[in-house]
Structure 1
Amino acid sequence: MPTTPISDIPAIRDTLRANFRKGVARPLEWRKRQLLQMARMLQENGEAFAEALAKDLGKPRLEVYVHEMGTIIERALVSVQELDNWVKPVAVEAPDWQKPWKPTIYKRAKGTVLIIAPWNYPLVLSLQPFIGAIAAGCCAVLKPSEVSPHNSALLAELFPKYMDPDAYRVVLGAVPETTKLLELQWDHIFYTGNSQIARIISAAAAKHLTPLTLELGGKSPVIIDPTFDIALAAKRIVWGKTQNCGQLCVSPDYVLIPRGHQDAFIAALKDAYAEMFPEGTMNSSSVSRIVSPQHHTRLTDLLKRTKGQVVLGGKTEGTTKIEFTILRDVSGNDSFMEGEIFGPFLPIVPVDSIEEAIEFVQNRPHPLVLYTFTDNAELKERILDETMSGAAVFNDLMQQLIVNELPFGGVGESGHGVQVLKYTYDAFSYDRSSIDVPKEVEPFNAVRYPPYSEEKFKAMTVAAFLPIPDTV
């Protein structure tokens, strides 16, 4: 993959900053055209993106069109339709004596922003935040991942053909180029990736007091209520875990189930797997591969060190293939519980009760999503009340991602800030408060001016002596 000369990076940032100040990205109609150009870029080059993602990840063509291109095209078009509503000033309801001031909140672009994207869904996770930056009126640099080089190179090639280079640029490279980007001051940084790199980015951003959106991952658990339809739960879990070969931030990371039901659950998983992948995942054209030999080595090391029992799969091939693998009787301190797996392994952690499962989740860093399979309304309420996660999803996997009206983001170790459509627009905007105080109110201002008197004291300090009720 070609790289952007490091010496060019400050000039790219400076040019975009100057153009932002000139108002290049401010007109609404211009923003809408850029959003349409993004959709057009994908639609007119669909096969090229499908080929790039096949080379980078072995990603099936269907998944590229549905999960990557379709998502971006739809959300770009929705943003065009909704932008007029998003940018409307909001008149604030104020006390009668302040109404003549016309208190108003205006949405304004933060400025020149940096988007650092990951490799696992390299198209949608690059352009989804970019939609919000365009809609907000920001100028932006996109740094796609060097781990998915074909997709990154294609974005760099197509961007200047479709997007206005006075406002939007792609920087290619790896650690040295990203380090140079982070040395510069930005008005917002949007990072999608892991918590280790997020700490580096946060430290760099802190030097400039740069606000951040961090979309991270973590270990997203699945709690199984044994009274639920176990066969249905197993089918949905196998489907979710095999998406992109488990390389997904909202992938189910491990399963908590009362130990007396572990055998029945494993049998249901095997049945679902046999139905979906009769030839096995390593030979299936419906499953992506491991992204690189380095990640393959990391994953096989987890398998070598586990104390859990492999009950399905466990085979590896070459440097990019690992079979979908189920492990039973995995303990809380197993190798597979050290960090986010990000691969095709499904550890089952047996517990003595649902209460123990909830406590297990409570005692660990907050996940990006907590999945629970249950029809029990009381248990759903307990999950919502007693645990923390970026999202709580009941009775399916990953479907929260396609609800455009919901915010998507983490909490604690799984990140902060949210995105998708209006939420991404808000992330790259700030609320600018405004009042316009008319001259005619000057007689009412007399009480505030020195010299102070006892009469002015009584008039100005009413709030300090408001009665406080004994009960609520």
Structure 2
Amino acid sequence: VVHERTRLGEPCLKIYPLECVDLLRRARVAFQVGRTLKEGFRLAQLEAVVQMLEEHECDFVDALGRDLHKPKFETVVSELILVKNEALYANNNLKKWMQPQYVERNLSTTLDECLMVSEPLGVVFIMGNWCSPVQTCLVPLVGAIAAGNCAILSPSECTAHTAELLHRLIPFYLDNECFHVILAAANDLPEVVELKFDHVFFTGNRKEGSKIALAAACTLTPVTLILGGKNPCYVDQHCDIATAAQRIAWARFHNAGQSLAAPDYILCHADIQARLVQALKCCLNQFYGSDPRESRSYGRMVNLEIFNRTRSMLWRSGKVAVGGQVIEAEKYIAPTILTEVVESDPIMQQDVFGPVVPVLTVNNMDEAIVFINKQEKPLCVYAFSKNNEVISRLMSETSSGSFCSNDSVLQSLMVALPFGGVGASGMGSYHGRYSFDTFSHRKSCLLRGTRFECVTYLRYPICSFRSFVDFLLIAFFRGCISGCGKQIVTQPE
């Protein structure tokens, strides 16, 4: 039985693409009868998400500990609190988001109402990622709920304990007709997408994202893709190296480096490379002790496939300056810093979802900008410098989904900032109001009555006095068009 709830600790039944048809049908029926349209319904579902996370915090900590060896502090801060903040923010702002947005009127619409109405798309499909399996599932779900959609959620099969926990808990907290969780293999997801949803939201790598986009294109389904990429981190010679090292090390090595937003490689001046590597080494010792394997704060690779892929890149790239130890039986890779890396090395040709950071040298900032712009557009660009001109140039002369100076990852966690990719790092964005907009259609509405037909009568083709009417019509429409460039969106108080 597809919808059978299981007790904690019991195996969960895997759902296959053909069995998703019934879930999709139930969700469509619920949406079509208007079940999700009322503000009260949406608020209740958002509150239920918060309640679920609060009442089962220990279960989420346990599940992520089993899947990723993730420490409790990391789970609470980077997964649970992040989702709760999104839900509470949406709850507090939902009334404002749902209000129509009025636009300035021109000569032809002086007596009419011109507005945009945000309406839900319908039934959306959300696919989470194993790097952050709770937040990549539930943060988009918060946006889908706030916008008034029904949703089918697909957690990553790589983090099986977390996926099964979401599969068991969500039916107890969210509406059983509007929201469903499926457990599908990655290879089955394109087939599920072909069932025709109203929007598809995917977080993951480029290869899988391409397959999802291709499947969605067959049914003209719009997609949001949050994809990994080679996130560069430029370290200027004029910066606080100790602070930069601390913030880079935290971002790169938390969750054993399994992050879409972490810095992938460092570009620094040759004369500070040795000091930077030494500072990074000191930070790793402070964070995880002399043997990270024994640290309760250090994670493990999610599975042997990712472990082997990361190990292969590590062994075939540059020179190990720090770390490098691997233990296959534990899926353990020590925090590793590579030097003497060249652009053609495997570590620079593929996305790195592991605790390995290569350090490359450049002669100046211009060379760093050229290097970054030669690559595909990344999800994030980071820059460390005390010089505001350096920060300004890196921000304006490179293109990326997001940018952060003198820190790492934080811009991807903020509820008030949109997060998403550009070019090869994805399309669309989410978080806060931007999640609401992603899962909404902004419908243009012109509301007018039937009065003053004596004025609008002039647009109709009438044989008598044709030349005079044409003159008036041209003058009228020129007046209408001339005001178009001045239209701005306004929100009534």
How would you bin the TM-score normalised by the shorter chain?
A: over 0.9
Match of 2:4 in 1: none
Partner secondary structure for residue 77 of structure 1? helix
Paired letter, 1:25: T
The answer as to 2:237 corresponding to 1:237 is no
Runs of 4+ in 1 over 6 A off after TM superposition: 464-467
Paired with 2:308 and 2:152, the residues of 1 have a C-alpha distance of: 32
For the pair 1:458 / 2:458, whether they are aligned, the reply is no
The alpha carbon displacement at 1:5 in A equals 4.2
Offset of 1:61 from its aligned partner? 0.8
Shift of the alpha carbon at 1:385?
Answer: 2.0
Give the C-alpha shift of residue 376 in structure 1: 1.4
Superposed CA deviations along residues 102-142 of structure 1, whole A, max 9, x for unmatched, are 11111100111100111111011100000000000001100
Opposite residue 317 of structure 1, the aligned amino acid is I
Q: Say if 1:411 and 1:25 are closer, same or farther in 2 by CA, change over 3 A.
A: same
1:351 Cα shift?
A: 1.2
The answer (yes or no) to whether the contact 2:288–2:298 under 8 Å persists in 1 is no
Structure 2 residue ranges without an equivalent (≥5)? 1-11, 483-493
Contact 2:143 2:439 in 1 (8 A): yes
- Is the 1:213–1:418 contact (alpha carbons within 8 Å) kept by the matching residues of 2? yes
Q: Deviations over 1:362-392 (max 9, x none)?
A: 1111111100001212222211221101111
107-116 vs 431-440, which moves further: 431-440
Aligned residue identity for 2:403: A
CA distance in 1, matches of 2:65, 2:284: 23
- 1:50 shift after superposition: 0.7
Structure 1 residues not aligned, in runs of 5+: 468-472
The answer to whether the aligner puts 1:360 opposite 2:371 as a matched pair is yes
CA distance in 2 between partners of 1:176 and 1:22 (Å): 33
Counterpart among 178, 189, 194 of residue 183 in structure 1: 194
For 1:275 and 1:12, locate their aligned partners in 2 and report how far apart those are by CA, in whole Å.
Answer: 49
Match of 1:317 in 2: 327
Distance across 2 between alignment mates of 1:275 and 1:402 = 25
- Give the distance between the partners of 1:6 and 1:352, measured in 2 at CA: 53
Q: Which moved more, 1:163-172 or 1:400-409?
A: 400-409
Find out whether 1:347 has 2:365 as its counterpart: no
Following superposition, the deviation at residue 166 of structure 1 comes to 0.8
- What do residues 412-441 of structure 1 show as CA deviations (whole Å, max 9, x unaligned)? 011111100111011000111111221112
Query: Which residue does the alignment assign to 1:94?
Result: 105
1:61-72 alignment runs, 5 A limit: 61-72=72-83
Please tell me whether residue 449 in structure 1 is matched to residue 455 in structure 2.
no
Alignment of 1:262-281 (within 5 A): 262-281=273-292
The one-character-per-residue Cα deviations of 1:256-301 (angstroms, maximum 9, x if unpaired) are: 0111221121121122222222233222111111000111110111
Task: Determine if the alignment matches structure 1 residue 207 to structure 2 residue 207.
Answer: no
Q: Which of 379, 385, 392 in structure 1 is aligned with 2:396? A: 385
- Residue aligning to 2:151: 140
> Which TM-score applies when normalising by structure 2?
0.92
CA distance in 2, matches of 1:180, 1:331: 39
Say which of 199, 209, 216 aligns to 1:198. 209
Q: Quote how far apart the aligned CAs of 1:96 are.
A: 4.5
Residue 401 of structure 1 deviates from its aligned partner by 2.6
Partner of 1:470 in structure 2? Answer: none
1:74-153 matches, within 5 Å, as: 74-153=85-164
- The answer as to whether partners of 1:368 and 1:390 remain within 8 angstroms in 2 is yes
User: How many Å apart are 1:202 and its aligned residue?
Assistant: 0.8
Tell me if the contact between 2:267 and 2:368 (Cα under 8 Å) persists in the aligned partners.
yes
Q: How do 1:254-333 residues align onto structure 2 when only pairs under 5 Å count?
A: 254-306=265-317, 308-319=318-329, 320-333=331-344
CA contact under 8 A between 1:221 and 1:252: conserved in structure 2?
A: yes
Tell me how far apart the structure 2 counterparts of residues 362 and 47 of structure 1 sit (CA, whole Å): 44
Cα distance in 2, alignment partners of residues 384 and 70 from structure 1: 29
TM-score calculated relative to the size of structure 1? 0.96
State the identity %: 34
Alpha-carbon deviation of 1:304? Answer: 2.0
The SS at the match of 2:180 is strand
Q: Decide whether the 8 Å contact of 1:9 with 1:180 is kept in 2.
A: no
Residues 327-362 of structure 1 show CA distances to partners (whole Å, capped at 9, x for unaligned) of 112111111101111110010011121110110001
Q: In structure 2, which of residues 169, 174, 180 is the aligned counterpart of residue 163 of structure 1?
A: 174
* 3-state SS in 2 of match to 1:142: strand
Counterpart residue number, 1:54: 65
Q: Report how many aligned residue pairs link the two structures.
A: 466
The equivalent residue for 2:48 is 37
Contact 1:24/1:166 (CA < 8 Å) preserved in 2?
Answer: no
**Alpha carbon RMSD of aligned pairs, Å?**
1.5
Change (3 A) 1:176 1:277: closer
Q: Give distance in 2, aligned partners of 1:228 and 1:175.
A: 43
Q: 1:392 to 1:299 in 2, by over 3 A?
A: same
Contact 1:116 1:190 in 2 (8 A): yes
Deviates more, 1:450-459 or 1:361-370: 450-459
Given that 2:417 and 2:432 are in contact with CA atoms closer than 8 Å, whether structure 1 keeps it comes out as no
Q: 1:363 and 1:161 mapped to 2: Cα distance? A: 49
